[in-house]
C-alpha cells in the first residue's frame, strides 16, 4: 500500500508532510534517513507527521524529524504549513497545534500570511540546555571566528553568533563543529546574524540534524530575541534569510515570540515503501 505525502515549504525550508491521524505511522530511522537524503530520496529539511492531539485544546499534534533521524521539539516554518492545512480543512482562521514543546496558536491574517505564537523564549542556561552554568547572553564557546554567542531555547536549542558579514562566514565548515560543541549536550541549531538596521537583520542558519537550510523559523525567533537582548534592534523586526523574510515580534507583555510568514505547497506524492501501519481502533 502506498503512503501519500505532501511536499511543502516555508521560505524554501522544505518538508515532507505525512497524515498520521487515522493510522499510527511507525517510521523506522533508516527509512527517515533514506527519504531525507536528497541523493536517495525525495529529500526534506524536516519530515512532519500529523497525529491526533493528546491535549483536548489542540487541533492536532505535529511530530518533527530531521533528515538524520533525530526528533525536534519545534519547527517554525513547518508550523505555519501545518496550520495552513488545518485551517483550510476546517474552513477556519485559527488553529492550535500541539508539539513536543507545547501548544502553539496560529492565525491567518488578511494578507494570507500566517502568524504563529511560538511561545516564550527560554533563556536560562539549563533550559537551552548548556553543559555548564553561564550567562546565555555571552556563551563561553568559540569555533574559529565565531565566539560570544547568545543561547535561546524556542522549543529547540539555538546559538546565535553576531558577525559583521554573515555571507563571508564558511558556515558549511563551521556549522557542524559548532553543532557538536561540548557546551551543547543536545547539540544546537547555529545561527549567524548581521544587523542591518534597528528593525532588520540578515540571518543564515546551520540546522541541527539537517545542515544549511534556506530558512529556519525557530532560528529566526532565536536570532530576533538575541538581537533584542543585546540592544541591537527593536522588538519588532524583519529577519532576512536565503529563502526570504519573516516578521518577528518579541511581545513584551508575556515574552512570547510571534512569527509571521508565508506557506507554499510544492507537490503531492506517494511512497511505495513497505511501512508498518498500525490502525487506530
Ligand X SMILES: N[C@@H](CCC[C@H](N)C(=O)O)C(=O)O
Least Å distance, CB 195 to ligand X, is 21
Strand-pairing partners, residue 270, are 4
Least Å distance, CB 46 to ligand X, is 5
Tell whether residue 257 is a contact of ligand X (CB under 6 A): no
**C-alpha–C-alpha distance, residues 159 and 174, integer Å:** 13
Question: Using CB under 6 A, which of 120, 209, 261, 262 touches ligand X?
Answer: 209
Query: For the chain, what is the largest distance between any 2 Cα atoms, rounded to a whole number of angstroms?
Result: 57
Least Å distance, CB 189 to ligand X, is 5
124 or 270: CB nearest ligand X: 124
Least Å distance, CB 280 to ligand X, is 27
216 belongs to the catalytic site: yes
Torsion of CA 84, 88, 90, 96, to 10 degrees: 10
The residue range among 48-56, 71-79, 122-130, 229-237 that interacts with ligand X, by the rule CB under 6 A, is 71-79
Binding-site size, ligand X (CB under 6 A): 19
51 or 273: CB nearest ligand X: 51
Tell whether residue 152 is a contact of ligand X (CB under 6 A): no
Chain length of the chain? 281
Tell whether residue 48 is a contact of ligand X (CB under 6 A): no
**Residue 54 to residues 73, 103, 155: CA-CA distances in angstroms?**
15, 11, 18
The residue range among 144-152, 190-198, 212-220, 236-244 that interacts with ligand X, by the rule CB under 6 A, is 212-220
**C-alpha–C-alpha distance, residues 117 and 33, integer Å:** 30
Q: Which of 193, 201, 257, 262 is nearest to 225 (CA)?
A: 257
Q: Where are the alpha helices (DSSP H) in 13-110?
A: 29-36, 76-90
Q: Where are the alpha helices (DSSP H) in 107-250?
A: 171-179, 217-229
96 or 273: CB nearest ligand X: 96
Strand-pairing partners, residue 98, are 61, 103
- Residue 93 is labelled as binding a ligand: no
Tell whether residue 217 is a contact of ligand X (CB under 6 A): yes
The residues binding ligand X (CB under 6 A) are 13, 45-46, 66, 72, 74-77, 156, 189, 207-210, 216-219
Amino acid at each position: 500500500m502506498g503512503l501519500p505525502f505532501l511536499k511543502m515549504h516555508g521560505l524554501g525550508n522544505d518538508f515532507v508532510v505525512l497524515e498520521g491521524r487515522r493510522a499510527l505511522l511507525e517510521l523506522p530511522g533508516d527509512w527517515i534517513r533514506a527519504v531525507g537524503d536528497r541523493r536517495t530520496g525525495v529529500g526534506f529539511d524536516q519530515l512532519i507527521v500529523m497525529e491526533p492531539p493528546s491535549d483536548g485544546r489542540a487541533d492536532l499534534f505535529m511530530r518533527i524529524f530531521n533528515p538524520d533521524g533525530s526528533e525536534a521539539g519545534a519547527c517554525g516554518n513547518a508550523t505555519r504549513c501545518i496550520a495552513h492545512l488545518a485551517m483550510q480543512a476546517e474552513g477556519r482562521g485559527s488553529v492550535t497545534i500541539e508539539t513536543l514543546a507545547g501548544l502553539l496558536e496560529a492565525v491567518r491574517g488578511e494578507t494570507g500570511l500566517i502568524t504563529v505564537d511560538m511561545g516564550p523564549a527560554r533563556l536560562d542556561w539549563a533550559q537551552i540546555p548548556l553543559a555548564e552554568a553561564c550567562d546565555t547572553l555571552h556563551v563561553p564557546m568559540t569555533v574559529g571566528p565565531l565566539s560570544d554567542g547568545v543561547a535561546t531555547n524556542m522549543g529547540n536549542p539555538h546559538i546565535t553568533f553576531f558577525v559583521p558579514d554573515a555571507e563571508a562566514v564558511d558556515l558549511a565548515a563551521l556549522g557542524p563543529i559548532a553543532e557538536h560543541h561540548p557546551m551543547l549536550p543536545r547539540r544546537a541549531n547555529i545561527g549567524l546574524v548581521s544587523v542591518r538596521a534597528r528593525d532588520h537583520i540578515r540571518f543564515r542558519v546551520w540546522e541541527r540534524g539537517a545542515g544549511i537550510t534556506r530558512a529556519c523559523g525557530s532560528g529566526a525567533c532565536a536570532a530576533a530575541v538575541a538581537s533584542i537582548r543585546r540592544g541591537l534592534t527593536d522588538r519588532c523586526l524583519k529577519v532576512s534569510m536565503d529563502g526570504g523574510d519573516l516578521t518577528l515580534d518579541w511581545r513584551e507583555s508575556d515574552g512570547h515570540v510571534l512569527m509571521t510568514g508565508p506557506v507554499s505547497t510544492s507537490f503531492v506524492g506517494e511512497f511505495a515503501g513497505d511501512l508498518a501501519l498500525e490502525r487506530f481502533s
